[in-house]
């Protein structure tokens, strides 16, 4: 397995594979890889002849007061995980390899990016769409793999691929969780022992919301009130949002019909964590 930092090297490698008739999968990540990322890589390895993992903390998807500087990084451990999972190439560019000093072209989506995480993080999805577009152009994969953990991101990428005619299949993968239910996340390392215990409240709210809906409840106000009440019972937790939206348009719904997404962002101490479930009505 190779680790490369330049766009030119990635293109040369992919060109070689293409000339041999091999299919290519891409797993975009910000590194500090865990079992959640590994599940995406394993799926990509199973479905493609060659797999590229991008490992890049993308500065333009962080807001000015967010955790860009402190975001955890460990390329050596990441390389071991990628190799163990069967990836063929890790693309690990420096910010200056991706963004020229006079970089000024962005992919900016409306509507789907305005609610949920987009409300608290108004420039986040512009950064995500821009970097994912660049990765799609650099690697030109047949398939790209994203986690359902970032449900709004997955919906945004699907829409971007449709709207901008990327010839790439987007594969959504289920949320991988810790034993107690907490969704695996690179940001979980920010939690101290007490916060780590409190953080389980997100997945408990997911379980509660899902079971209410499985038992026939369809009113968003009822499901969300129960989830909010549970989270508010945890003194270390502070809700950013808990919402029910249409799973494709990301528009809020009053009642669940078809496929809906129940998503939340909750601060545990200073750490902002997300979790969600999809309910097919
Ligand atoms: P990140 O490095 O946090 O940007 O995540 C890279 C990719 O891994 C995204 O598509 C995430 O949705 C996915 N991912 C992160 N955590 C998990 C998890 N616990 N389960 C499944 N996928 C995940």
Domains with residue ranges and CATH for the chain: 2-173 (3.40.50.620), 186-276 (3.30.1300.10)
Rg of the Cα trace of the chain?
19
Cβ contacts of residue 211 below 8 Å, gap of 6+?
none
pLDDT (tens digit, 0 to 9) for every residue of the chain, 281 residues total? 999 999 999 999 999 999 999 999 999 999 999 999 999 999 999 999 999 999 999 999 999 999 999 999 999 999 999 999 999 999 999 999 999 999 999 999 999 999 999 999 999 999 999 999 999 999 999 999 999 999 999 999 999 999 999 999 999 999 999 999 999 999 999 999 999 999 999 999 999 999 999 999 999 999 999 999 999 999 999 999 999 999 999 999 999 999 999 999 999 999 999 999 999 98
Check: CB of residue 152 under 8 Å from CB of residue 252: no
DSSP bridge pairs for 173: 147
Q: Is 87 touching ligand 1 by the criterion CB < 6 Å?
A: no
What distance in Å separates the CA atoms of residue 189 and residue 72, rounded to the nearest whole number?
Answer: 8
DSSP for residue 150: G
H/E segment holding residue 250: none
> How many angstroms does the Cα of residue 119 sit away from the middle of ligand 1?
20
Q: Is 186 touching ligand 1 by the criterion CB < 6 Å?
A: yes
Q: Is 135 touching ligand 1 by the criterion CB < 6 Å?
A: no
**pTM of full prediction above 0.95:** yes
Check: CB of residue 32 under 8 Å from CB of residue 108: no
Check: CB of residue 143 under 8 Å from CB of residue 48: yes
H/E segment holding residue 163: helix 151-163
Q: Whose CA is nearest to atom 14 of ligand 1?
A: 147
State which ligand 1 atom lies nearest to the alpha carbon of 147. 12
Residue 181 falls in which region: left (phi positive, over 0), alpha (psi -120 to 50) or beta: left
CB atoms within 10 A of CB 15: 10
């Amino acid at each position: 397995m190779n680790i490369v930092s330049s766009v030119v090297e990635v293109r040369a490698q992919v060109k070689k594979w293409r000339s041999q008739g091999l299919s290519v999968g891409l797993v975009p990540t910000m590194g500090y890889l865990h079992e959640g990322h590994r599940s995406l890589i394993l799926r990509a390895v199973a479905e493609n002849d060659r797999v590229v993992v991008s490992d890049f903390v993308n500065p333009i998807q962080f807001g000015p007061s967010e955790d860009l500087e402190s975001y955890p990084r460990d390329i050596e451990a990441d390389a071991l995980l990628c190799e163990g999972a069967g990836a063929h190439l890790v693309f690990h560019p420096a910010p200056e390899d991706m963004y020229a000093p006079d970089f000024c072209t962005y992919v900016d989506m409306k509507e789907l990016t305005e609610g949920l995480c987009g409300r608290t993080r108004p420039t986040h999805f512009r950064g995500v769409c821009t970097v994912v577009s660049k990765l799609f152009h650099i690697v030109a994969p047949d398939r790209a793999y994203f986690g359902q953990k970032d449900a709004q991101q997955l919906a945004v990428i699907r829409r971007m691929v449709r709207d901008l005619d990327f010839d790439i299949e987007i594969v959504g993968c289920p949320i991988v969780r810790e034993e107690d239910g907490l969704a695996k996340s690179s940001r979980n390392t920010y939690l101290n022992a007490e916060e780590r215990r409190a953080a389980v409240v997100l997945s408990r709210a997911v379980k509660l919301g899902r079971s209410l809906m499985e038992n026939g409840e369809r009113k968003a106000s009822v499901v969300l009130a129960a989830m909010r009440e549970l989270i508010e019972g945890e003194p270390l937790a502070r809700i950013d949002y808990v919402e029910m939206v249409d799973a494709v348009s990301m528009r809020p719904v009053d009642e669940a019909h078809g496929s809906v997404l129940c998503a939340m962002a909750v601060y545990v101490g200073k750490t902002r964590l997300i979790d969600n479930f999809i309910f097919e009505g």
